Structure 1
Amino acid sequence: MDSLMQYNNAVNAIKTAILQGQYEAAKGVNRIQLALYFAIGKYLSQHTRKGVWGEGALAAISEQLRKELPGLRGFSETQMKDMRRFYEAWNMLDSNSAVATAELCIENSAVATAELQNSENQIDIFHTLSISNIPDFPVEDFFKVPFTHHSAIISGPKETSARFYYIHRTVEEHLSVKKLRQLIKEDAYHCQGRMPNNFTRTINNPREARRAVEMFKDEYLLDFINVEEIGEREKIDVDERVVEQSIVQNIKNFIMTFGRDFAFIGNQYHLEIYGVEQFPDLLFFNRELNAMVCIELKLGEFKTSYLGQLFGYLQILDDKVRKPHENPSIGIILCQSANYSYAEYAVRDYSKPMGVATYKTLDDMPERLRKALPDMKKMMDLLKNKEE
């Protein structure tokens, strides 16, 4: 069968599938469009990857489709390559032993052969797909994500778990393609902190909860703290005050280490209710979260009693300090060490958003890593000399 006849058969098969899919998609069912693209992607994959069609096949098919279906959009050579990649990215969903959980495959076995036998072969998008053997597959979310978003996702991470993550976020936060691509570029999946927190339980808006989770890391390097001075102290409360003063004296460094959009409100911030005074260690405002962030510094291992103390601070902040337009305050216990699983367990039932993070000073790092870090004073002097 010569190339021209092969391409004509392909055009007829794809055109029939397009018309069938458009009829169903007009009903507003996103899964039908995905089914169409998955089916066409499979068809194209089977005939281009195995050398059945020659060079330039997709360009020729795309041009002929536009001639036969005037005004057709979404079936350029590039877009058909996206359909092929869509199928190949999720080809584990393609099963002949169908479990009827979704509609997404090619029914006519003749199409699945290496060659088209005649022009009557059709791509039938109404077949079944088996996903029952794929652990944690986000079925509902998968079919809610538009194809353009799917294309962005499969162009990024190759890990299935990462793709699941971006699919879920797209649906949960109604992400635009631009925002989704930005998150993929920033590698949001791998940048997820392990900080124990209860944000998803205590922050009602899923988008705001996600922002809070992403804002904080599980561990911070505070290399500007004078560890030797702390070590000479005997009382824990005095030691913690030294940490606090070191942070206050280096507040710019601390903010740059801690995250973005933080504004320093004060340390030992005075709170009072029913004649009882309280003094949280550090108080910030975060513009992105639109919330105050209260940080309580602790030396040594995390203790559950710290959460009760922080909870009290957050109650007063929300009742007496928070502005009407601001979100509820967030509290962070910042200690030297913590059993993360235990901290996650301890924080879960509190009704205020709280998390537990740890910090390390420069002296806590292994010697070889300390030596690998640049001398900041020498770096600043070098930059200054270059400017002069």
Structure 2
Amino acid sequence: MSTSSTNILIDRITALLNAARQKVVHTVNHTMVLTYFEIGKMIVEEEQMGKERAGYGTKLLSSLSVKLIKKFGKGFSATNLKQMRQFYLIYSKQSDQLPDLHKSQTVSDEFKLSWSHYLKLMRIDDIHERQFYEVESLKNNWSLRELNRQYDTALFTRLALGKNKKETLTLAREGQIIEEPRDAIKDPYILEFIGLPELSAFSENDLEEKLIDKLEHFLLELGSGFTFVARQDRISFDDKHFRIDLVFYNRILRCFVLIDLKVGELKHQDIGQMQMYVNYYDRKIKLAEENKTIGIILCQNKSEAVVEFTLPENNKQIFASKYLTVLPSKETLIKLLETAIN
């Protein structure tokens, strides 16, 4: 057998083994989470039978813990058993309160994340917010670390503010749905991963360099469907040359997305410049079957009035969004968002 044939065979076997490992991990995770749900159910049912005895629940958990640790090890501390109990209570209620979320599934069929994910999700009190992060974790294959980050940056709140009740329920049920350009835009964008202090002096080039260095993180913050195309993309006409900071393509919207980075206050000239970039891409770059180009200006500060009166009333292509280089508290972020839409 030639070296080339051997390498091809190794690649095929490697792919098969990796797929098998992933399947085993998924099966183990699902079985473990389902088992914990059932243990939680048994504990609750036993507590309800002994509900007239004061302190019965606490004594039950302690007694169970001692005996289970002897049989199965330290994974069954009283704290862990309490979490299993809480898991059952939360998700059995969630299934009752949101019956339309998974019409063809039983409660146990829904457990597709790891136990660590559910420990985080259980700490989210709002049922719709919790459901949103669960759906997005599944859709985007978020690690626990990414789930924590998205929650800390108040992704649900950023997407939900400005929506009516029906739209918010749809957001919780189906996650972020991108059907038109505005659906793909966030305001603000949280760029804490680039490591630039809030009050430090930095240039647009510094910001661009940091975003490219952390491109994977930036793509996650941009959202679903984005792929990187180019940086400092040069366009020329007559004897003039211009450079677009960052160019992406959104596979869901089937269009180019141009991003211009601005340090300081957004000016109407910046919006005019982006309009020129978008027009050029629409007339010279995009294919006939592709949708119109989107332009996003990321700025440190902006006047909503300047944006409103510079852009046409029926604007669906150009957007101005603020960016934050540090992670504010959730309360501060919510205040910023509420101010932006009022």
Q: Same fold (TM over 0.5)?
A: no
Q: More helix by proportion, 1 or 2?
A: 2
TM range (shorter): 0.3 to 0.5
Larger Rg: 1
Question: Could you tell me the TM-score, scaled by structure 2's length?
Answer: 0.45
